[in-house]
Amino acid sequence: MFMKNNEYYFATALIYISDRWHLHAFCYQVGDWRDFVLSRILEVQGGQPARFDWLKTGFRKEIKRSTFVPHPELTDDQKQVVSFEFGMEDGKLEVEMTENELFYFRERYVANPGEGPPQKLLSVLGQA
pLDDT reported for residue 127: 67
CB proximity list for 41: less than 8 A, separation 6 or greater: 23
Please give the chain's pLDDT, 128 residues, in tens: 666 777 777 787 788 877 889 888 878 777 777 888 889 888 776 666 665 555 555 555 678 889 999 998 889 999 999 999 999 999 999 998 877 778 888 888 888 777 766 677 778 776 65
Distance between CA atoms of residues 34 and 96, nearest Å: 20
Distance between CA atoms of residues 80 and 73, nearest Å: 13
Q: Is 45 exposed, middle or buried (0-12, 13-18, 19+ CB in 10 A)?
A: exposed
> What is the number of other CB atoms lying within 10 angstroms of the CB of residue 22?
19
| CB contact burial 46-70 (16+ within 10 A = b; e otherwise) | eeeeeeeeeeeeeeeeeeeebebbb
C-alpha angle with apex 91: 90 to 93, nearest 5 degrees? 100
pLDDT reported for residue 58: 53
pLDDT reported for residue 51: 59
Q: Are strands 122-127 and 93-98 parallel, antiparallel or unpaired?
A: unpaired
